[in-house]
Structure 1
């Protein structure tokens, strides 16, 4: 088998025959996921597409020429990129989605767990397919932190003992590291980091974790300022501001639809899947040219937008204000709020200085511990503008943003929003719609507490008031403000786990905050 794999061309019929001799993953079990690779340049006479089965638990791989109905994740890419995705090192795998010539459709989030399974290679299948010896990834022991970092942890333990016990339970099990910020009435109670940011680098209160979708409220606040000034109307079609967007069924889509995730484009059809960290020109082309099917009777969709909507909405800022997204957010939001540690996105000089210390996203598959990956940590993914995704900063800065909102838009460096604008942004604009991930009511880019509808729709915890608003960062983070308790909570765990496990740990941690403060 190894001789065939080393001599036959990659993904050729002969190579696939050799790969078929490996022990195949169990089909139909929850731990086995499938994807289809559609080659843009298949060699003559060879399969144009390949179906891949990945056992997330044991790491077994199954590969065969594509046949039958396509699985839920499809990636169209050159042969060279397919090799990097299946057999390359971790950095090369994430680099596939920075090239500009790759498309993905379906459940893009599966790629994080597939990546971890390929990196761990518990079965040795990846090593066998490469024709090289396998290695087992090991997590480094935490280095000693600085004295001020240790003091920050001591203060957090004194203020929130139960919360810190729960957080320390997660560190080393579901996540290698964590950061927490909690304030009440604007007074910080906890601002600390625990564990590892990446192998050999401690997570402290000064670390710059990835905010992921917790960064989406930055654009909501920016658009709210323009709305308040009379320069922008979220109820007008996006094409009113971006005429080139108004084509192929998108002529009437409004900003409000995109901000409340009720637009007509299904999540799996996001045109930036496969290129979210790719070249700007190609991202713009795909975002503006994607076709959208008409909705029966004009009914609202239930379509969470991971990247497409925020990428488009951010391009309204220079049209109505003259400043690009990064400059506007820095000058009008980060500066007044005192968010000095936050980078909307890094520039190349910052990446050269900080890239080796940035917290990595680690991924845990079933029955496996957290494994470091390079998602959102390469130079391209950290330095290109990806609104609502690749912002980094200490969680105290995230907390300061929400403290400003709790104060009705007032910030230490001046007013950011008027109180009616804050109320409008966090009001219930989307109601009566639910998805399978527990999302129900939404404000303008803010997730709202919906436990009162059904426990399945608990957003921020068992004790958060119905007026609470905030956001999640895909299976890694959460931030919310509870006006009734004058409370702000921000949590980041750099270990990504499956949805159900993440929801359980976040609710448990948030509940511990309320219990520590006798608000339960």
Structure 2
């Protein structure tokens, strides 16, 4: 992002600019019936300028609205940042916007996921209003930082991924034209690979290959859970003991009440929206450690409410691994989990040379859904994010590798290149530990130690891995893009990546449709 007139830029978010912004967006209509609200809290507002600005987003049409926020106004997402960083967030190019979250300067509370959809609206700017406001503020986006709206690659020459899963492949091809420019799928049945394929686009003009390296998002948490299992069976930790027994710095403010089992089952008293690493998930390690060390833990018992720990809990697990083994988190995962499982293409993190070699072909995440076209974005694909360890999030690898991790679990701990876990440890990790709790807004219900469990018996909203999946099925979702599971009753492993991120309901519909097709194609569907 280039600032051609700093004096003009300084007027952004002051009353005159805010009035122009409100008037500029009025041409898009009266606004959404149920808009998503984002609150910007400016830490250093100009004299007389509002310190709180409320944005309203219509995710279907791209309409945006700005207004001065009142003291009582609340929002689904609150972003706390300086005025300069707010200018970058609102008027900068896509790469500069995501780099804000690598600095540690930005703090967020609430539903972090909405920031992806805000980025999409600001990038696509259906009315051209953002461009006019950017010009009025003297801010010019660098052309090299732009990403074109998705144009499907021609199917000519695309290899046929599998003749054995016809209904599944048909659905995958349909998704590449609708919600996900690229897909990657690995399925094995009774220990034999059935499909290992990529379709569509990994990023603009780059096809999605079977050996491409998409980001796993929260499916990466399963690797950390297996690492915990290895330490547990060696009696190096007790998952029911306080984390502070291993990490003395993690105490005070209620933190000493948090146990490893609370993190693995996502039942600590810390609400997801209060995660201290929201906004700084790819910031320097020491800064993140400080945020976690200061995080307040609300009063209340553990284990009585589902509170998904997106970032902070897995940072704590990484610190525990290092404290207990004297090895780095990356080294431990690579040598103790990835290596024995035969996950030879996966990267816990890139070094600079590795990113230089692969960065231009890494699959991007597209924000999709609604009436707007899929939009490629820079989230977790910049050099800063890809070369920063983000525990439980930014492992990259082909779905084939993620499938091999779950094949090891189905084989009761035996990996392709050695034993990873004892059978009793696999049973302990994947058994039902969280039951009887009210499902959260994403349909998460029963849970094991680090794995989501099939809970269709609790209703359609809680069905995760298909209507024919057995209730012994365990796996994980990854931020509305990736899903992996093993169904021991059918000796079935599925790992799926859709690089088009949609909202929860649409994502669940497409995942269940694909999973149901897999069961049907393999003759495993329930009658």
- TM above 0.5: yes
* CA shift for structure 1 position 45: 2.4
Q: Secondary structure at the match of 2:56?
A: strand
Match of 1:42, SS state, is coil
Residue of structure 1 aligned with 2:278, choices 273, 276, 300: 273
Cα displacement (A) at 1:345: 1.4
Q: Contact 1:8–1:15 (CA<8 Å) still a contact in 2?
A: no
Instruction: Indicate the SS of the match to 1:57.
Output: coil
The equivalent position to 1:512 in structure 2, one of 493, 504, 517, is: 517
Q: What is the aligned counterpart of 2:150 among 135, 139, 159? A: 139
- Inter-CA distance 464–136: structure 2 relative to 1 (3 Å threshold): closer
1:143/1:201 contact within 8 Å kept: no
TM-score in terms of structure 1 length: 0.94
Secondary structure of 1:100's counterpart equals: coil
Distance 1:221 1:373 in 2: 31
State the partner residue of 1:53.
56
Select which of 471, 482, 488 maps to 2:487.
Answer: 482
* Corresponding residue for residue 102 of structure 1: 106
Identify the residue that residue 18 of structure 1 maps to in structure 2: 20
Q: Counterparts of 2:76 and 2:457 in 1: how far apart (Å)?
A: 33
TM-score (norm 2): 0.93
Show the counterpart of 2:340.
Answer: 336
For residue 254 of structure 2, the aligned residue among 238, 249, 253 is: 249
Shift of residue 265, structure 1, vs aligned partner: 0.4
Determine whether 1:493 maps to 2:483. no
The answer to whether residue 315 in structure 2 is matched with residue 311 in structure 1 is: yes
1:121 aligns with 2:132: no
Match of 2:354 in 1: 350
Q: Cα gap change, 1:302/1:26 in structure 2, threshold over 3 Å: closer, same or farther? A: farther
Residue of structure 1 aligned with 2:66, choices 57, 63, 67: 63
Q: Say whether the 8 Å CA contact 1:163–1:516 is kept in structure 2.
A: yes
Is the contact made by 2:53 and 2:66 (CA closer than 8 Å) also made in structure 1? Answer: yes
Q: Distance in 1 between matches of 2:147 and 2:98?
A: 20
Q: CA deviation at 1:402?
A: 0.3
Describe the shift of the 1:284–1:163 C-alpha distance in structure 2 as closer, same or farther (beyond 3 A): same
2:406 pairs with 1:402: yes
CA distance in 2, matches of 1:116, 1:8: 25
**Which blocks of at least 5 consecutive residues in structure 2 are unaligned?**
1-6
Q: Which moved more, 1:305-314 or 1:253-262?
A: 305-314
Report SS of the residue matched to 2:20: helix
State how far apart, in whole Å, the 2-side matches of 1:356 and 1:381 are.
Answer: 14
1:410 and 1:136, CA in 2 relative to 1: closer, same or farther beyond 3 A?
closer
Out of 21-30 and 299-308, give the one that drifted further: 21-30
Between the aligned partners of 2:309 and 2:108, the Cα distance in structure 1 is 15
Gaps of 5+ in 1: none
The correspondence for 1:262, drawn from 264, 267, 272, is 267
Partners of 2:379 and 2:518 lie apart in 1 by 30
Aligned residue for 2:249, secondary structure, equals: helix
How many Å separate the matches in 2 of 1:281 and 1:320? Answer: 19
Deviation at 1:455, TM superposition (A): 2.6
Q: CA deviation at 1:27?
A: 4.9
Q: What is residue 182 of structure 2 aligned with on the other side? A: 177
3-state DSSP of counterpart to 2:457: coil
The residue aligned with 1:217 is: 222
Superposition deviation, residue 157 in structure 1: 2.4
The answer to whether the 8 Å contact 1:181/1:490 transfers is yes
| Worse-matched range after superposition: 481-490 or 65-74 | 65-74
Comparing 135-144 with 180-189, which one deviates more in the overlay? 135-144
Alignment deviations for residues 362-396 of structure 1 (CA, whole Å, 9 cap, x no partner): 00142112110111111111111111110000000
- Secondary structure at the aligned position of 2:195 is classed as strand
- Output the CA distance in 2 between the equivalents of 1:143 and 1:237: 55
Secondary structure of 2:338 counterpart = helix
1:281 Cα offset (Å): 1.4
Of stretches 184-193 and 55-64 in structure 1, the one that deviates more from structure 2 is: 55-64
Q: Confirm or deny that 1:167 pairs with 2:176.
A: no
